[in-house]
Amino acid sequence: MVVVNGIDLHIAECGDGPLVVLLHGFPEAWHSWRHQIPALAAAGYHVVAPDLRGYGRSAAPERIEEFTIFDLVGDVIGLVDVLGYGEVIVMGHDWGAAVAWGSALLRPDLVRAVVGLSVPPNSSLLPIRRLELPPIEQYRRDRGDYFYMVMFQEPGMAEQFLGVDVDAGLRATFVSASTRAQVGTDLTDDAEITDGAFALPDWLPADDFARYVETFTDNGFRGPLNWYRNIDRNWRLLAPWDGATIDQPSLYVVGEYDNVHEFFEVPKTLDELRSVAPGARDLVVIPDCSHWTQQEQPEAVTSALLAFLSGVEQEITINKEKS
């Protein structure tokens, strides 16, 4: 446990060397990086994966306004300081990707490289190419009141719905965004129903799933849902960065069948990615993979991360030799 920006954050850490911070998504926890933590540590990095603000054993402030992108990025930067480092490589998945890209955008002096999984550098979660309307207003107009991000806006309602049966709610979430469900296979074929519940996908063993159930049973969904309740507020707060670019070395990784392709303008080419992130080194599409990228295809994702890190270190060495 560490104290960052006046709140307690729970972290998992492993290894020694340059700092790499791994940021999870919704509805997950630090445990979503269980496959990558030892591999990155073995490659010579000090790897730190926090339960982010509102999640797991970390604190969940009471006010909705304490979950803005500034607060979330502030936790990353504060964590770097608490750990005694002057620079960091930030990697994130889903909402964690938005915070990783945001950390690079807002603190280019501290973030020396960035990786985003699933969520691209410009999205409704980090709108640095502003749309005419605030994102939730636009989603309500285009997708209706039953789109999940719209439904999450009303405090209390989503908490009650998701908290009635945490096991069932998490099963449905993980299964519905898993690979075969995204490629047109009937959901009941993708995950066999046993005793009235979806069977877990192969990539999520029962013991690992139980950790998620325990986390959200103990702590509820209020904190994580408050991230969504700041989407329009973030749109306003980031107005000064409209049109800005993320210039550090970066990598974008997305699953072939990730449902973010429906929600966000996912770049299809490296040139498209570089229009927002000129420092992008690669755009990696993971075959036979949907939204739960680093858990579904851990070996492919870990390989991409290690290749990116190796390239970044080589560039740093070359630049030092030139200077």
Q: CA-CA distance, 320 to 220, in Å (whole number)? A: 48
User: Which tokens go with 109?
Assistant: 């002096």
**Closest listed residue to residue 282, CA positions, set 274, 292, 290, 294:** 274
Whether 50 contacts 74, CB under 8 Å: no
Active site residues: 94, 291
Burial of 149 (0-12, 13-18, 19+ CB in 10 A): middle
Task: Please name the residues in contact with 164: beta carbons below 8 A apart, sequence gap of 6 or more.
Answer: none
Burial class (CB in 10 A: 0-12, 13-18, 19+), 63: exposed
245/59 Cα distance (integer angstroms): 32
**CB-based contact 130:276 (threshold 8 Å):** no
Measured distance between the N- and C-terminal CA atoms of the chain, rounded to whole angstroms: 40
Per-residue burial over 1-14, b if 16 or more Cβ lie within 10 Å, else e, is ebebbebebbbbbe
Helices (H) then strands (E): counts for the chain:
16, 11
Coil, strand or helix: which one is 234? helix
296: alpha, beta or left, given left = phi > 0 and alpha = psi -120 to 50? alpha
Tokens read off for 156 = 């209390």
d(CA 163, CA 225): 12
